Structure 1
Amino acid sequence: MNLSAGRRADAAGILLGAALDAIFGDPRRWHPVAGFGQFAGALERRLYADDRRAGARFAAVAVGAPVAAAVAGAWLTRRHPVARTALMAAATWSALGGASLAREGRVMAGRLAANDLPGARDQLPNLCGRDPAALDAPELARATVESLAENTSDAVVAPLFWAAVAGVPGIVGYRAINTLDAMVGHRSDRYRRFGTASARLDDAANLAPSRLTAALTVAAAPLVGGRPSEALRIWLRDGSRHPSPNSGQCEAAAAGALGIRLGGRNVYGSRVEERPHLGDGGPPAPADVRRAATLSLAVGTAAAVLAAGARLLIARRRRKR
């Protein structure tokens, strides 16, 4: 199997993996990301020190090990199209979280629509790390829409982007980086310095995917009753107001597509953040949460098709050379 055939197998694997995620959601047992989390946790216990150099060493080993394994897997399957397709499908399915994300969003929409505030508060930790105890229905809806917008990039578009760019090593490397950011990239006393490298890696890895997510959100706005022109206007105006260089792009585009306003006061345990407002509409209602879940699925589907197409385009250009 030549290089072009390998990329065609990758394209088929991307579509197959995305289909598996759409049908089954996250693997329920033996999830590779959970296994990686255990590996990274054990590595942290060995390498932890309260400084940035130790954090950089930790990130290099924690990302480098699975990427090396993925490179070896890609090399071993280079002459076997079916095996190569299966490897990419397995990596894609393991890395994506689009179906589960939308499902959790719809559960929240249902509980809010039924005025089940305790149930909605119990549901929020499945979507984000915000403290739900004091949140009312509009704030729970806002937290959910913001999480759906951000995680459409982190859990769907970004893995597909890196699969298109670098095949199996790309998607495995991205998922490792993103998982490390969730584990040690947050601002706490323990990780303020140790987690810096992981957080910066995640920012860099999501720079292009977050903007692709925003662009696809603009294009998909009519599917949820929005206008692309308005989604584009809000994205360009508000996308850089957010403290994150990437999350704001996705959240602003979603606010414009849904015709709502996001941002405000966020409580994470003992830490409180005041976020700038994104969008010109009112606060999201339960129906907007359901629309946000639909928007997330539409963006993810488009990203899968684009990723497979990009992999095929790379193969054709290689063949012409």
Structure 2
Amino acid sequence: MSRFDVFWNPVAPVAFGFLLDLLFGDPHWLPHPVRWIGRLISLLEAGMRRLFPQGKKGEQAGGILTTLLTLAVSTGIAYAVVALARWVHPAIGLAVETLICYQMLAARALQKESMRVFDALNAGNLTDARYAVSWIVGRDTGTLDFDGVAKAAVETVAENASDGVVAPLFYLLLGGVPLGVCYKAVNTLDSMIGYKNDRYLWFGQSAAHLDDLFNLVPSRLCALMMIATARLCGLDGKRAYCTWRRDRRNHASPNSAQTEAACAGALGVQLAGDAWYGGRLVRKPMIGDSLRPVEPEDIQRANRLMYAASAAALFLFGASRMLFSLFLGGMV
């Protein structure tokens, strides 16, 4: 192992990718690996539904194969692309890895989409605000009032701070581009087939469970990063910690309430609660204390907290990876 490898792989590509995401976000014209993964999932689902019979066992088998093949193909291609780029030239390898790391992160996109909701609310246009928030949440938005729209946007920023930024950073720095792409494949599988409805209850079961497993550690680390950086954002770190300790399990998912609880406590607002999905009311416990109503400015505050937690995670994970690489380099 060379000194170049010890210091520049994968810490440098991830750090450079993080910077690119902060500067440019997610240009729609740029081909994106997640879109390719999505197409692969759609093709595999169609094939598996033809191959396996309807019913619990057949759909479970088809779902498991869809999940395994998606992960194998996505991770394998990522590994091959990086290996080929490194073989051509180390500088090309660094550039390719940086580009892929950049595309695995979504901090700027999350801020941009949530701030569209803020702008519409700030302009007093509830119709536009409902439309803007419908792009970033899965719930029905047609009957939300101003407070409901603002709350939905804050919840999305809080939850996706982990799924869209901290978790990809964790896996990219743990196992480089291949493991980072593997995580995004798991995340995409869950977002496409991990639903508890008639179509995906059994077919998407394995994808949903795997997503829960992959996010188990990063979601908790993200919540702790939010708590640690809350005061730097002008928010209440002590209340963030207390709320997280009390409400971090107030969700059907083992992970979603982790960051929502930390964010709700930092802001001093109440999140979650009952919501409509596909015309059906879903009962959910509340998270946080209603010390004041949620307001549009909370979207801005949640984004600041997301950025601060992400930067702290990059520093912590990156430093840990460099120390590990130094130790490993000394052993070789």
TMscore range, shorter length = over 0.9
Q: Is the 8 A contact 1:142 1:284 kept in 2?
A: yes
Aligned residue among 297, 319, 325 for 1:315: 325
Separation in structure 2 between the aligned mates of residue 2 and residue 84 of structure 1, nearest angstrom: 15
Q: Write the mapping of 1:23-62 to structure 2, written as runs, cut at 5 A.
A: 23-29=23-29, 30-48=31-49, 49=52, 50=54, 51-62=59-70
Q: How does 1:1-321 map to 2 (within 5 A)?
A: 2=2, 5=5, 8-29=8-29, 30-48=31-49, 49=52, 50=54, 51-77=59-85, 80-280=89-289, 281-321=291-331
Query: Quick one: distance in 1 between partners of 2:222 and 2:285?
Result: 20
Query: Normalising by the residue count of structure 2, what TM-score does the alignment of the two structures yield?
Result: 0.92
Q: Distance in 2 between matches of 1:54 and 1:272?
A: 30
Supply the AA of the counterpart residue of 1:16.
F
Partner AA of 2:189 in structure 1: L
Question: How many percent identity over aligned positions?
Answer: 38
Moved more, 263-272 or 60-69: 263-272
Which range is displaced more, 1-10 or 260-269?
Answer: 1-10
> What is the Cα deviation at residue 271 of structure 1?
2.9
What secondary structure, in the 3-state scheme, does the structure 1 residue paired with 2:275 have? strand
- Code of the residue aligned with 2:164 in structure 1: it is A
1:106-154, Cα deviation, whole Å (9 max, x unpaired): 2212221221101101101221111110000111111111111111110
- Runs (4+) of structure 1 moved beyond 6 Å? none
Distance 2:90 2:323 in 1: 17
CA distance in structure 2 between the aligned counterparts of 1:208 and 1:37, rounded to whole angstroms: 25
- Larger relative contact order (C-alpha < 8 A, sep ≥ 6)? 1
Q: 1:7 to 1:191 in 2, by over 3 A?
A: farther
Alignment: residue pair count: 321
Measure how far apart 1:88 and its partner are: 2.2
Q: For the residues of structure 2 that align with 1:101 and 1:190, how far apart are their CA atoms?
A: 29
Contact 2:151–2:271 (8 Å) recurs in 1:
yes
- For structure 1, the residue ranges without an aligned partner over 5 or more in a row are none
Query: Residues 82-103 of structure 1: CA distance to partner in whole angstroms, max 9, x if unpaired?
Result: 2332232122111111101011
Q: TM-score of the superposition, structure 1-length normalised? A: 0.95
Structure 2: tracts of 5 or more residues without a match: none
Query: What is the deviation of 1:259?
Result: 1.0
* CA apart distance, 1:78: 5.0
- 2-structure distance, mates of 1:128, 1:316: 42
Quote the RMSD (CA, aligned, Å): 1.7
Contact persistence 1:160–1:304 (CA under 8 A): yes
> What SS class does the counterpart of residue 286 from structure 2 fall into?
coil
